[in-house]
């Protein structure tokens, strides 16, 4: 029997981001991060609460036989997954990290991030006007060419009513976490077979961050979507799903 799949969404989205992928795999499920549809709040600028939510989900009744999990994480969901897999390697069969980074902001020795000032400005913007700030962010996930695709249009339509659905204080805490998060030292603790997926034209997380993950997670492989932005699984779902299948065959799941 196949290992269970779990799909973990990115910042300011929820399980609906995965509809084109979760239906393609047997025994697949989605989870919501704290403040993103989950009942649990996000109260501290760390990954502790998202990791706890993920581990509680993994240990839940859907996986009572304690099978190892194939986990797919996008952006903030991928960072949550990195931390969880570093702490609990025995629970993961394979990792797929999409649009991921060990540090959302640029730091000494890691120039592949945003400026702290830009992230702080975004935090203030979302506090003052969450609707417009999220609207801009959602479009940033795609290239101009991708925005013409029906998949991108459907994504933007899905999240047009996002602010009422999410706990804005918790969404802000997610940004505060990204401002402080530095997972570089955690990468050496990842022992699970890992596939890094990144769009060449990612405007949220530079593709060089994906290169860094690949270079610093032992045995990791990378696939770059040459014409994609931050969410290649949305705009090219069939190819993305096939990529996962081929990766798992190579890991002899």
pLDDT in tens, 138-185: 999 999 999 999 999 999 999 998 777 899 999 999 999 999 999 999
> In whole angstroms, what is the distance from residue 61 CA to residue 192 CA?
23
Predicted TM-score of the model (pTM)? 0.95
User: Quick one: pLDDT at residue 203?
Assistant: 98
CA triple 92-97-99, angle to 5 deg: 160
User: Quick one: pLDDT at residue 241?
Assistant: 95
Q: What is the dihedral of CA 121, 123, 125, 126, to 10 degrees?
A: 160
Is residue 112's pLDDT more than 80?
yes
Q: What is the dihedral of CA 7, 60, 252, 220, to 10 degrees?
A: 50
In degrees rounded to 5, what are phi and psi of residue 34?
Answer: -50, 140
> In whole angstroms, what is the distance from residue 253 CA to residue 242 CA?
15
Q: Read off the DSSP letter of residue 60.
A: S
Helix (H) or strand (E) holding 133: helix 130-140
Architecture of the domain whose range is 5-250: 3-Layer(aba) Sandwich (3.40)
Helix (H) or strand (E) holding 79: helix 76-87
Arithmetic mean of pLDDT, 215-227: 97
């Amino acid at each position: 029997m196949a290992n269970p799949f779990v799909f973990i969404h990115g910042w300011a989205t929820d399980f609906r981001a995965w509809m084109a992928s979760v239906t393609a795999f047997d025994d697949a499920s989605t989870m919501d991060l704290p403040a993103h549809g989950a009942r649990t709040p996000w109260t501290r600028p760390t990954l502790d609460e998202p990791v706890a939510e993920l581990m509680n989900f993994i240990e839940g009744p859907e996986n009572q036989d304690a099978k190892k999990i194939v986990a797919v994480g996008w952006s903030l969901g991928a960072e949550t997954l990195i931390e969880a897999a570093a702490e609990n390697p025995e629970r993961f069969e394979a990792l797929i990290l999409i649009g991921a980074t060990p540090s959302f902001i640029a730091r000494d020795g890691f120039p592949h991030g945003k400026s702290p000032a830009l992230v702080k400005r975004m935090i203030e913007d979302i506090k003052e006007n969450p609707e417009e700030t999220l609207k801009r962010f959602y479009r940033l996930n795609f290239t101009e060419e991708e925005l013409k695709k029906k998949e991108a249009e459907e994504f933007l339509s899905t999240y047009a009513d996002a602010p009422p659905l999410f706990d804005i204080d918790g969404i802000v805490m997610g940004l505060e976490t990204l401002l402080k998060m530095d997972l570089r030292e955690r990468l050496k603790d990842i022992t699970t077979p890992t596939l890094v997926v990144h769009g060449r034209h990612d405007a949220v997380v530079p593709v060089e961050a994906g290169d860094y993950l690949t270079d610093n997670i032992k045995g990791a492989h990378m696939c770059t979507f040459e014409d994609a932005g931050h969410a290649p699984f949305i705009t090219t779902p069939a190819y993305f799903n096939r990529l996962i299948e081929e990766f798992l065959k190579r890991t002899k799941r």
